[in-house]
Amino acid sequence: MKTFIPTLFLCFFTLVAHAQKHDNVWVLGHNGGTNIDFNENPPNIYFADRQTEMYSTNASISDSLGVLLFYTNGCDVFDKSNEIMENGQVINPGIVHDDHCIEPFNAYIGSRGAIAMPRKDNIYNLFHLGMKRVTTPEYDVYANRLYYSKVDMVQNGGKGKVVEKNKLIVEDTFQSGDLTVVKHENLQDWWVIVPKRIANKYFKVLSTISGDMIVSEQIIGDSTLFSSDGGSQAVFSPDGKKYMRYIPKQGTMLFDFDRETGELSNYLHLPDPGDSAFGGGIAVSPNSRFLYISTQIKFYQYDLQSSDINASRVLLGEYDGFSSPFETYFFKCQLAPDCKIYCNCLNSCNVLHVVNHPDEPGLACDFVQHGVQLATSNALSLPNFPNYRLGSGQPVCTPTAAGEVAAVVGVKVWPNPASDGVSVSLGEAVHAPMVWSLYDQLGREVRRAVLSAGQQEVQVSVAGLVAGLYFWSIKGEGFVVGSGKLIIQR
């Protein structure tokens, strides 16, 4: 059976009241890497030119102004200069780590990234899951230790130092894809939640502003039937009132959550849509009303305010066969500072899927497959951030101008089928340059045309291309604002 090697999940806890922009820089990808900077409008997606490989284990943390401080790939902790931070090597010891972190810039291959939370005085706690591998009675890899490590960003002239490392909190078996956190009602402490593997037990750690780690347990709801290591995901709603998990082949588990006591209650199970997913993801809209579920080949929305949540399900999209360079199946999802939800691929690919308007019901939310072009390939990597603005008086997120690009674009590519050439025309002249690209079924770009500012149409030759199905997209300001299929006949 195909199995993920579960990630160690890293949770960064800063010690600053009312953190605002700790999630503004995303560190992704390999082969030099991609960064996404949400401090810019629209977000700046650029080649990072770093040696560090970022795979499915991914964590980055910025200061309250959105300036990147450090990040980790599950092997080591790196400062903003892409150097291993002092005492930042081997943050999660063991044979699984050793198998994947042979060289300093190698990355841990697993399932899910990281989370960062505020405390005070430039101190950050990293929560991470250590892995165990067994060969009898059968081969298995799973999370068995919840650790924390502490980073002091005052050290080394602001480049930081790991001052405590691999401190054991709990030893058991854990569902590695489902580590998540939320602010306590007092807005100073944090709740860390990690479910037990193949069970209905939840470990809860109250991480206090003074540095205490208070552990409790709760049994509630249905037991998970499968390990789903790396394939599942958990999230809190932005308002902190609900905790939910998506488990492939089993469905979605919804709970109310009391941020004062840490108690889960009012369990509700949403059956799996029957898509036989190996991996999937979950996210919630900024207004905490709409739940989004990816099931590898299909993407759904649910209305959490409906009297029958399961009946409110809307199919937003089904995998369209696009590869870039591998199949761009839907996987983990994350609400971003620009109020969009981004989802990565269940393969190595150089795109993200995006929900442009997640507060809108049904198809109005504008789910776009492979809608964001990355600078490099990205293998399962996506950060795992909480709502830092919860209780701060700041909005959950701030929409950017990038979403306005699509409003001025009505793309027509004709004739279709085509043999010699196609015309790419827009509903009106563009105000900024746009790029139209044509891809074969392996995700290779085979034609490109640029529409300059003020231009409305461009002619593209397809002579020399073999007959078959192709995919096209048009990008403005780094975002895909239109896409479709083109058949070439000979």
Nearest CA among 341, 334, 349, 340 for reference residue 380: 349
Q: What is the SS3 string spanning 388-452? A: CCCCCCCCCCCCCHHHHCHHHCCCEEECCCECCEEEEECCCCCCCCEEEEEECCCCCEEEEEEEC
How large is the average pLDDT for residues 170-181?
90
pLDDT beyond 70 at 6? no
**Mean pLDDT, range 30-58, rounded to an integer:** 88
pLDDT at 17 over 50: no
Residue 117, pLDDT > 70, answer no
pLDDT of 34 reads 92
Task: Answer whether residue 427 shows pLDDT above 90.
Answer: no
The pLDDT score that the predictor gives to residue 292 is: 98
What type of residue sits at position 252? Answer: T
- Using the predicted structure, report yes or no on whether residue 16 has a pLDDT greater than 50: no
- Whether the CB-CB separation of 78 and 438 falls below 8 Å is answered with no
Q: What is the mean pLDDT of residues 221-249?
A: 90
pLDDT at residue 229, as a whole number: 67
Task: Note whether 167 and 148 are within 8 A (CB).
Answer: yes
Q: Do domains 10-399 and 406-488 have the same CATH topology?
A: no
The CA-CA-CA angle for residues 382, 388, 393, to 5°, reads: 145
The pLDDT assigned to 4 comes to 40
Write down the architecture of domain 406-488 according to CATH.
Sandwich (2.60)
Which one has a higher pLDDT value, 316 or 117? Answer: 316
- Does 380 or 282 have the greater pLDDT score? 282
Q: What is the mean pLDDT of residues 334-344?
A: 96
Q: How confident is the model at residue 477 (pLDDT cuts 50, 70, 90)?
A: low
Higher pLDDT, residue 72 or 158: 158
The position carrying tokens 């902190």 is 240
Highest mean pLDDT among 2-16, 35-49, 52-66, 199-213: 199-213
In the chain, the percentage of residues whose pLDDT exceeds 90 is: 56
Tens digits of residue pLDDT in 343-399? 999 989 999 999 999 999 999 999 999 999 898 899 888 998 999 899 988 999 998
Mean pLDDT score of the chain: 87
Q: Taking the model in full, what pTM does it have?
A: 0.83
284-288, 418-422, 474-478: which has the minimum mean pLDDT? Answer: 474-478
Per-residue pLDDT tens for 432-453?
788 898 988 777 789 999 988 8
The more confidently predicted of residues 46 and 301 is: 301
For the chain, give every domain's residue range. 10-399, 406-488
Q: Is the pLDDT at 5 greater than 60, yes or no?
A: no
Average pLDDT of span 35-42 = 90
CB neighbour burial string for 373-401, b if at least 16 within 10 angstroms, e if fewer: bbbbbbbbbbbbbbbbbbbeeeebbebbe
- CATH 2.130.10.10 is right for the domain spanning 10-399: yes
Return d(Cα 432, Cα 475) in angstroms, integer: 11
